[in-house]
Amino acid sequence: MCDEQTVHETLATCPGLGSITLCPCGTVSLHVGGISVRMELSAYMQVAKMCHIAMLSLDNQVRTMAQAVHNASAVTH
């Protein structure tokens, strides 16, 4: 990893949440609130894949819950 003075490229930002930056040495930093996680590019790619899989799982769970609520309200009305 480079020192604190090294200029990092901002890859993505979300106001009020954080950002993802890339150091010239190849280290990716994930900044969320007051927490920063620095990792090698390959580790970041695995984290991104893991988050994507979790997002798909959550989407399926939300759809299932919404359908259950819809079915329950159809029965009571």
For 8-50, the pLDDT digits (tens) are: 999 999 999 999 999 999 999 999 999 999 999 999 999 999 9
Which of 4 and 35 is assigned the larger pLDDT? Answer: 35
Task: Give this prediction's pTM.
Answer: 0.72
Length of the chain: 77
Domain boundaries, the chain: 1-39, 42-77
- Residue identified by tokens 């609130």 is 33
CA separation for the pair 6, 4 (Å, rounded): 6
